[in-house]
Amino acid sequence: MAAIRIDNLRKGFGSLEVLKGINLDIADGEFVCFLGPSGCGKSTLLRSIAGLEDLDGGSIHLGDRDITDVASAKRDIAMVFQNYALYPHMNVRKNLSFGLALNGMKRDEIDRRVESAADILRIKELLARKPRQLSGGQRQRVAIGRAIVREPKLFLLDEPLSNLDAGLRVTMRVELAALHERLGVTMIYVTHDQVEAMTLSDRVVVLDKGKVSQFGTPLELFYQPANLFVAGFIGSPR
Ligand code: ADP
Ligand code: MG
């Protein structure tokens, strides 16, 4: 668990300015959504926090630690992507344990973490199956499990449910909320779906063209939108 602080973060691609000075203070254990239309910079911001982008400026702190120049693998951050890919030739247990084994973790500790994650995600009975023998929702649970076994201080999820059908999306939303409750870990969740953001979050960051348009609780955004962009985006139908 850790708080995260972002100061004046800037990132562009060539002449395209994508993040134009982002400032954010996220509390330890909070569930925060980055919400905004396609192309506003949500994924770039999340990838920057994960250490997957070369920044043009600014700094990122995780707890007391300045992680701006720390390599991605050493940040104690785990990320779940929209187009998560499981290793097709490995069973679920192996999919969960592979990354840990690669880092030289001891067998006992790996087993403990895999069992614990499988228990939390209710995939214990699936550990021997290959990805192709799983439903979409089960695959998504395994993808989240791969992040959980790392026991990260910060969890980043980039539209993890967008490939699932509507019914399953609602179910997984409830499960993610329960997971956050159970792990007590800081989570940042990217979505372009206002309903998802409003139902899941402690607070929502509304992004507009690479800037923070408003950062507040769902109720604040709904009753006191800071500007027309927020009002229109929160109020508009899906
Ligand atoms: P979002 O996740 O909100 O849809 P992104 O962060 O993916 O937005 O993208 C923001 C902008 O940056 C878009 O205009 C996108 O085309 C551009 N972009 C993202 N990644 C790259 C990249 N690797 N190279 C060039 N342009 C990029
Ligand atoms: Mg994106």
pLDDT of 7-56, one tens digit each? 999 999 999 999 999 999 999 999 999 999 999 999 999 999 999 999 99
Q: What is the mean pLDDT of residues 90-103?
A: 94
Beta-strand ranges (E) seen in 107-192 are 154-158, 186-191
For atom 5 of ligand 1, the residue with the nearest CA is 41
Indicate whether this model's pTM tops 0.90: yes
- CA within 13 Å, CB half, 119: 8
Q: Is this complex scored with an ipTM above 0.95? A: yes
Q: What is the pLDDT of residue 171?
A: 86
Residue 158 CA: nearest ligand 1 atom is 2
27, 66, 153 from 18: Cα distances, Å? 25, 23, 26
CA 125 to chain CA centroid, Å, is 26
DSSP conformation class of 202? S
Q: What is the mean pLDDT of residues 74-90?
A: 89
For atom 14 of ligand 1, the residue with the nearest CA is 39
Question: 227 C-alpha to center of ligand 1: Å?
Answer: 24
| pLDDT tens for each residue of 53-78 | 999 999 999 999 999 999 998 999 99
Q: How confident is the model at residue 81 (pLDDT cuts 50, 70, 90)?
A: confident
Identity of residue 62: L
| pLDDT tens for each residue of 106-122 | 999 999 999 999 998 88
Ligand 1 pocket test: pick from 10, 11, 16, 158 the residue with the most ligand atoms within 8 Å of its Cβ.
Answer: 16
pLDDT higher than 90, residue 224:
yes
- CA within 13 Å, CB half, 200: 34
d(CA 6, CA 23): 5
d(CA 154, CA 150): 10
Q: What is the pLDDT of residue 236?
A: 62
Q: At what angle do helices 136-148 and 166-183 cross, to 10 degrees?
A: 20
Question: 110 C-alpha to center of ligand 1: Å?
Answer: 36
Question: 39 C-alpha to center of ligand 2: Å?
Answer: 7
Q: At what angle do helices 92-102 and 136-148 cross, to 10 degrees?
A: 20
pLDDT higher than 70, residue 92:
yes
| pLDDT tens for each residue of 147-201 | 999 989 899 999 988 888 888 888 888 888 988 998 899 999 999 999 999 999 9
For atom 16 of ligand 1, the residue with the nearest CA is 39
- Report the DSSP pairing between strands 186-191 and 154-158: parallel
Q: Select the more confidently predicted residue: 97 or 120.
A: 97
Q: What is the pLDDT of residue 163?
A: 80
d(CA 77, CA 54): 17
pLDDT higher than 60, residue 238:
no
Question: 123 C-alpha to center of ligand 1: Å?
Answer: 34
Ligand 1 pocket test: pick from 44, 54, 82, 188 the residue with the most ligand atoms within 8 Å of its Cβ.
Answer: 44
For atom 26 of ligand 1, the residue with the nearest CA is 13
d(CA 19, CA 202): 23
Identity of residue 186: T
Q: What is the pLDDT of residue 34?
A: 97
Pocket of ligand 1 (CB under 6 A): 13, 16, 18, 36, 38-44
pLDDT higher than 60, residue 6:
yes
Q: What is the pLDDT of residue 45?
A: 98
Identity of residue 201: S
Q: What is the pLDDT of residue 58?
A: 98
Helices (H) and strands (E) in the chain, counts: 8, 10
pLDDT higher than 80, residue 1:
no
Q: 138: closest CA among 194, 186, 206, 92?
A: 92
pLDDT higher than 60, residue 237:
no
